[in-house]
Amino acid sequence: MTTHDLPIGRRIARLRARRRMTQQMLADRLGKSKSWVDKVERGVRALDRFTVIQDLADVLRVDPVVLLGRDALPSRAARAAVHGVDGVRAALARYDTALTGPQVRAAPPAEELGRRVRHAWLTYQHADYPQLLRMLPALLGDTQHAHAAHVPAAGGGDGAAELLVQAYRITSSVLVKLGEGDLGWLAADRAMSVATGDPLLVAAATVPLGQALRVLDRPRPALAVTIAAAYRIAPRVWRDGPRRDLALRGTLLLQAALAAAGFGDERSARELVDQAAGIADEIGEGHDRHWASFGPTAVGLARVAAAVELGAGGEAVVLHEKVVGAGDWRRLPAEHRAAYLLDATRAYLRVGDSLAAGRALVEADRTAPAEVRLRPVARTLLTDLTRHGPVPADVARLATDLGIG
């Protein structure tokens, strides 16, 4: 068998040996652990980000094509996403406003920024991640500038702080989806800093913070922050808050439930989902000022995701088939539905139903292709499916498109 025919992990091991490098030496040059290198070489850990493959190729002094072998190069959309992430990273690394102040140029009008933030959220909900990544650097810069221009005079009371928090929230959410957990955490942390002093803004900023912590395998801190934020706004929203703010509390409770499920706390996970369900039953669907898509349907989806995290595949499948049979399921944003279908795929894989898992994954691709073609978790699921044996033609076609097989 030639190097060209080997699995990518074996290719890396062989190329590393040719360079007379130990696993520890390779790990040090990549800024990874020796355990990470060992898992990659044994095929236990998938290489789902082209940026990581590029880094490996640079250290091993080969072209990425050599490293990929027969695996397809990333699609145009995937390459665009890689470049887009680089642009967002550069935007987050700039401190122009802090160093020079807002007096260098006039801040954009709040109305214009509000429209751009709403457009960015809609782009996110349609899962057009390459387009969103192109928009974000300018949006971050302009909302930072507007916030700096207004904070000294009005303490952000004109909405500038909320716009900047929203821009950071969107940024964190898309970065987390694309496997950039550390960068997503940074954006969420920036949102928390801007929001300080306003419990509702802090609560809104905590949603992506909890997501980033979970994707970084830190479920206990994720539970702590989401619970704290949810209970901090509880008296206000129950006493005189509008339903949209109740929806924000419900969203935080669902994030907390998923965090609890992440470290196996079944009792807390179920209790938190039940609390969120009580809010959802009271307010219904459609209260989405905070762009959380919260309601009874979202609660049902979270029950499935929590069951999957807890290893209860059979329960998750039963709940899934119930929730997607409801009419409100189709009213959720494409991003939300496709992301959830990845959870459903995991549920079917847990119970050994590879055919149903394949159907769920293909439906996710039809609903929002970027959720499957750009997210590392989706590539991992598709890899697992192909390892179970022959797959249906539509799953095989998707695997070929993504260079998996």
pLDDT digit string (tens) for 375-385? 888 888 888 88
Average model confidence (pLDDT) for the chain?
86
The pLDDT tens digits for 254-276 are 999 999 999 999 999 999 999 99
pLDDT at 152: 38
d(CA 392, CA 139): 43
CB contact at 8 A, 36 and 45:
yes
pLDDT at 156: 38
d(CA 308, CA 323): 15
In this prediction, residues 311-333 reach a mean pLDDT of 90
Task: Place 71 in a pLDDT band, splitting at 50, 70 and 90.
Answer: very low
pLDDT at 165: 96
**Residue 71, CA atoms < 13 Å, CB-side half-sphere:** 22
Report residue 351: phi and psi, to 5°: -95, 5
Name the percent of the chain lying above pLDDT 90.
Answer: 54
d(CA 93, CA 91): 5
The pLDDT tens digits for 100-149 are 665 556 778 888 999 999 999 999 999 999 999 999 999 999 999 898 88
Crossing angle of helices 243-262 and 296-309, in 10° steps, is 10
